[in-house]
C-alpha cells in the first residue's frame, strides 16, 4: 500500500512538472507576466517591461528546463535561471548613472563593510532598491548604523553633535540632513532643527510623490528618477 501511494505521488509530481513545462513553452508571454510581476513596480518603473531590467537567460526554455531537471537529479552543480536573469548592478547603472556617488555599490565590496553586505546586501543596488515592492527604498531609513556606529568627527559643527546622535541611536535622523548618494545639489544643515522633516523623508523613501527633497539633481543624464 505504501509503495502504491509513493508511486502515485511520484507520478503526480512528474505530471505536474511536465504540465508546467508545456505551459511555459506554449505560453511564454503569459508565464513571463505571471512569474516576473511579483509585486508593484518601484515609482518611476511602471512603464518598464521585464526585459528592460532582466536580461534573457542563456539557452532556450527547453534547455533551461532540462538544466533544472539535471540539477535536481544530481547531474549538474548549479541550476540555470528560467526565463530571465536577476538584475545586476550594471543593469541599474545603465539607466541611473551616478557621476558623483558618495556611496557607490563597489565600495561595499571592501572587507570592512562585510557586516553591511550581510545585513542588507549593501554591495548591490537591489539591497536598498528592491523592485516589485512599490517603494523607492526598500530598507528602513536607519541603515546608516551598519557602517557608522563608531564614527567620530573632529570639530563637529552639528547641533546636536554626531557623537550625541550616535549615542542616542538616532539613526533615523541621518537622511534628514544627508543625501545618501550625494547626487543632488544639497548642503547638510548644521542644526538638526533646520533639517528636512522626518515624515517628508519617510514619504520620499516610500511611494508618495515627495519630489526632489534634496534639491536639483547634479547629473542630468539619468533617464529615470527613483531615488
Which CB contacts under 8 angstroms, 24+ apart, belong to 195-201? 198/172, 198/173, 201/141, 201/175, 201/176
Q: Which residue has the higher pLDDT, 37 or 227?
A: 37
Rounded to the nearest 5°, which phi and psi values hold at 158? Answer: -75, 150
Across-strand partners of 128?
none
Q: How far, CA to CA in Å, does 32 sit from each of 23, 35, 114? A: 11, 5, 35
Q: Quick one: pLDDT at residue 217?
A: 85
Q: Quick one: pLDDT at residue 31?
A: 45
**pLDDT tens digits for 101-134?**
999 999 999 999 999 999 999 999 999 999 999 9
157 torsion bin: left (phi>0), alpha (psi -120 to 50), beta (else): alpha
pLDDT over threshold 80, residue 176: yes
Distance CA 148, CA 142 (A): 11
Q: Quick one: pLDDT at residue 69?
A: 81
Query: Confidence class of residue 26 from pLDDT cuts 50, 70 and 90?
Result: very low
C-alpha cell at position 44: 518611476
**pLDDT tens digits for 42-98?**
888 888 888 888 887 787 878 878 878 888 888 788 777 777 778 899 999 998 887
**pLDDT tens digits for 2-11?**
555 555 555 5
pLDDT over threshold 90, residue 212: no
pTM over 0.85: no
Q: Quick one: pLDDT at residue 105?
A: 93
Q: Quick one: pLDDT at residue 147?
A: 92
Q: Quick one: pLDDT at residue 44?
A: 86
State the DSSP code for 202. H
Please list, in sequence order, all residues whose beta carbon lies within 8 angstroms of the beta carbon of residue 35, skipping any fewer than 6 positions away: 82, 83
Name which of 218, 211, 217, 214 is nearest 44 in CA terms: 211
Distance CA 98, CA 69 (A): 41
Q: What percentage of the chain carries pLDDT values higher than 70?
A: 79
Domain positions in the chain: 2-72, 89-205
Amino acid at each position: 500500500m505504501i509503495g502504491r501511494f509513493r508511486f502515485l505521488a511520484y507520478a503526480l509530481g512528474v505530471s505536474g512538472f511536465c504540465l508546467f513545462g508545456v505551459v511555459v513553452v506554449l505560453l511564454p508571454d503569459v508565464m513571463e507576466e505571471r512569474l516576473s510581476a511579483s509585486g508593484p513596480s518601484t515609482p518611476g518603473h511602471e512603464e518598464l517591461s521585464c526585459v528592460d531590467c532582466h536580461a534573457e537567460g542563456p539557452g532556450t526554455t527547453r534547455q533551461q528546463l532540462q538544466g533544472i531537471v539535471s540539477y535536481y537529479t544530481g547531474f549538474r552543480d548549479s541550476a540555470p535561471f528560467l526565463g530571465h536573469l536577476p538584475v545586476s548592478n550594471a543593469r541599474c547603472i545603465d539607466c541611473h548613472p551616478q557621476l558623483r556617488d558618495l556611496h557607490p555599490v563597489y565600495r561595499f565590496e571592501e572587507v570592512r563593510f562585510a557586516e553591511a553586505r550581510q545585513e542588507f546586501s549593501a554591495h548591490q543596488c537591489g539591497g536598498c532598491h528592491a523592485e516589485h515592492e512599490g517603494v523607492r527604498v526598500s530598507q528602513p531609513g536607519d541603515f546608516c548604523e551598519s557602517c557608522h556606529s563608531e564614527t567620530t568627527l573632529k570639530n563637529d559643527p552639528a547641533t546636536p553633535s554626531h557623537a550625541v546622535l550616535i549615542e542616542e541611536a538616532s539613526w533615523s535622523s541621518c537622511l534628514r540632513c544627508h543625501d545618501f548618494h550625494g547626487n543632488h545639489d544639497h548642503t547638510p544643515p548644521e542644526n538638526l532643527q533646520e533639517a528636512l522633516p522626518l515624515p517628508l523623508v519617510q514619504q520620499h523613501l516610500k511611494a508618495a510623490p515627495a519630489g526632489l527633497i534634496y534639491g536639483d539633481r547634479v547629473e542630468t543624464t539619468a533617464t529615470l528618477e527613483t531615488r
